[in-house]
Structure 1
Amino acid sequence: MARRLRPVGLDFVGSAPVRLVFAREISAPPEAVFAALAEDVPGWVDWFSAVTLARPTGDGAGREIRLRGGTRFQETILAAKAPEIYAYRVDETNAPGARALVEEWRLTSAGTGTRVQWTFAADGPAPFRVMLKLARTGLGRAFRDAVTALDRRLAVR
């Protein structure tokens, strides 16, 4: 059953009770990385292995995301400023525990490539917050594998 989450803004990224931040440098330029994140939403299934469906909704103002295992998200885009930031808020999910969730992707030039920083900002009851902190290693691995696959994908374009 889908549950509505608390609507929060981009400022939640800095104030969330749980903030997991991961970063990695890749060789693709920021413009190409931003385009893959924000403009080719269906392409996420090709480089983020946990994603089984990704499609824009509301004329690009939102996204529908489905993950392996059956988790679903309805999201609202909070920021899409090329080529620096792409962020979205989860409005509805079937995942238990979350009360508010925002993901932010920040892109900065790193030589000829890009430093990709992903912040996973969340709130929920104490058991949910503890579970997220315990999941840090797995989320970090998923991020690393995803941006590595994205970099490979962009290199062949």
Structure 2
Amino acid sequence: MAWSTLEPFDVSFFDTAPHRHSFPMDLPVAPQAVWAGLAGDTPLSWCRGLNAGRYTSPAPHGVGTTREITALRVLHLREEFVRWEEGTRHSFCVTQASLPLFRRFGEDYVVEPVANGTRFTWTFAFEPSPVLARPAALTDFPGRAFMKQLVNSTKRHFGAA
């Protein structure tokens, strides 16, 4: 498989990315259960459209940890974590992708306790590859629909849907 290399970034990209979508959701389970699903051996296994998620670096996991996952059976991603706050937050940047869709792409996961369980905020941040940068609506629409599918899968999995 040929790999496209993406540009690295630091955590400030999650505030400055040209395309940023944040999805806060309240889940009726303990924060530890949400964290276990995000950071466990089979991350995001409940999400329709994602599969084969696995860590490619040994535990314990933290900044610098690497992972691979497949989206929609055709987009293979290699990721590196740029933030890891055990139990509460982690963020990664994609380092390589099987399709040249992005210049930069990453996700930020925040897990916070609330009165009835957990608030999980899932943020997607990206800059499309130059070929896809215009028109922005064509770049953003399919991705946003897929993101909403991931959010809905998460809500169903944790009993919030």
State whether TM-score is above 0.5.
yes
Paired AA for residue 26 in structure 2: E
Q: Mean Cα displacement is larger for which, 56-65 or 135-144? A: 135-144
Paired AA for residue 51 in structure 1: L
Give the superposed CA RMSD. 1.9
Query: Aligned-pair distance for 1:9?
Result: 1.1
CA–CA separation in structure 2 for the residues paired with 1:51 and 1:89: 17
**TM-score with structure 2 length normalisation?**
0.83
Match of 1:8 in 2: 9
Match of 1:119 in 2: 123
Determine which of 66, 76, 83 is the counterpart of 2:80: 76
**TM-score with structure 1 length normalisation?**
0.85
> Residues 128 and 37 of structure 1: is their aligned pair in 2 closer, same or farther, counting only changes over 3 Å?
farther
> Residues 55 and 84 of structure 1: is their aligned pair in 2 closer, same or farther, counting only changes over 3 Å?
same
Match of 1:139 in 2: 146
Match of 2:114 in 1: 110
CA–CA separation in structure 2 for the residues paired with 1:99 and 1:23: 25
Q: How does 1:30-109 map to 2 (within 5 A)?
A: 30-38=31-39, 40-45=40-45, 47-59=46-58, 60=61, 61-109=65-113
Match of 2:23 in 1: 22
Paired AA for residue 55 in structure 2: P
Query: Aligned-pair distance for 1:137?
Result: 4.6
Paired AA for residue 57 in structure 1: T
Paired AA for residue 135 in structure 1: P
Unpaired stretches in structure 2, ≥5 consecutive residues: none
Residues 32-79 of structure 1 show CA distances to partners (whole Å, capped at 9, x for unaligned) of 2112101x141522x111112011012241101012331100000122
**Which structure has the highest helix share of the two?**
1
Unpaired stretches in structure 1, ≥5 consecutive residues: 153-157
Q: Do the aligned residues in 1 keep the contact of 2:50 with 2:73 (CA within 8 Å)?
A: no
Paired AA for residue 6 in structure 1: E
User: Identity, % of aligned pairs?
Assistant: 22
Paired AA for residue 80 in structure 2: T
Q: Do the aligned residues in 1 keep the contact of 2:48 with 2:150 (CA within 8 Å)?
A: no
